[in-house]
Amino acid sequence: MILVSILGFCVIFHFLAHYFKPYSRLKMIKDAKRVLIVTSHPDDETMFFGPTILSLCRGKSNFESKNLFLLCMSTGDHKNMGAKRKLELYNACKILGIPEENITILSYTRLRDDPGIRWREEVVSEGVLQAAYAYEIDTILTFDRHGISGHKNHSSIYSAMAYLVMENRLPSATKVFALRSVNVLRKYSSLLDVPMSFILASVVYTASVKDWCILHKAMAAHGSQNVWFRKLYMLFSRYILINTFDQIKTGSQASVTTTTHGNQMNFRRQTSIEKRKTN
């Protein structure tokens, strides 16, 4: 009986959070005009950023889908399937609503798809900068330092974005938001995690039941990756129903305790200090 009551509460909360406009739009990024989503591999956009993409592309906000851009930092060639995965990404994005001309897929030898390799921040940041200036981006969405799954390629993007923010190298007034990682229990709690996530976060995008079905269709387009354990992920992950973001803030806003230096070595020492303090 208690479990039924909890589930019922979560269903009602999700309904209000998504369908009742005063709530559904309450925690969106209101001043975003041109948005860049930065991912590591083909399928990241569907598995992790789906609710955000559908909210931006399908009229939940006043945002126009033509102003949504995707930068994928690799072709996903871990098993020599880069060419196939690129095609799968285009097909999935067509389902999600991202225009094909707004998709950029990098194929750098120094950005190999490998969960055991940490990408160099200067290589990642250069790719992001080119896209940000070329598309006149004012809002960037990407992974946080934990990368949702702990994948080193994911967390490498966060380190590069933190560097760009701290060094003020992005276009003027550009804001950067990181997709919040949660513990394993919450990650696979699906609908049960929606109330807590919505209340605790300042930036939130949710997916409807229809959106949930669209995301499964988009994931099916990633045929080479849609294996049994990813199918289970798509069934139980809270990231298919809700995305929560934290802003990566600049200098004084971030309460950085050491002076920002111009070279990468000093930057890495500074972020290490921050991590020890937060832990």
Residues near 29 by Cβ (< 8 Å), separated by ≥ 6? 139, 175, 177, 203, 245
Average pLDDT of the residues of the chain: 88
Instruction: Say if residue 265's pLDDT is above 60.
Output: no
For the residues 93-122, what does the mean pLDDT come to? 93
CB 186 within 8 A of CB 196: yes
- For residue 59, the model assigns a pLDDT of 63
Burial class for 61, CB neighbours closer than 10 Å (0-12, 13-18, 19+): middle
CB 54 within 8 A of CB 96: yes
Is the pTM higher than 0.85? The answer reads yes
CB 212 within 8 A of CB 21: no
**Domains of the chain and any CATH numbers:** 32-248 (3.40.50.10320)
Instruction: Say if residue 272's pLDDT is above 60.
Output: no
The pLDDT tens digits of the residues spanning 246-261 come to 999 875 454 433 333 3
Beta-sheet pairing, 35-39 with 139-143: parallel
Q: Give the other-Cβ count within 10 Å of 268's Cβ.
A: 13
The pLDDT tens digits of the residues spanning 213-257 come to 999 999 999 999 999 999 999 999 999 999 999 999 875 454 433
- Which of the two residues, 63 and 24, has the higher pLDDT score? 63
Residue whose structure tokens are 């499964």: 216
Question: What is the percent of the chain where pLDDT is above 90?
Answer: 69
How sure is the predictor about 61, in pLDDT bands with cuts at 50, 70 and 90?
Answer: low
- Which of the two residues, 269 and 83, has the higher pLDDT score? 83
- For residue 183, the model assigns a pLDDT of 95
- For residue 255, the model assigns a pLDDT of 43
How sure is the predictor about 264, in pLDDT bands with cuts at 50, 70 and 90?
Answer: very low
Q: What single-letter amino acid sits at 54?
A: L
Least confident of 37-41, 71-75, 139-143, 246-250: 246-250
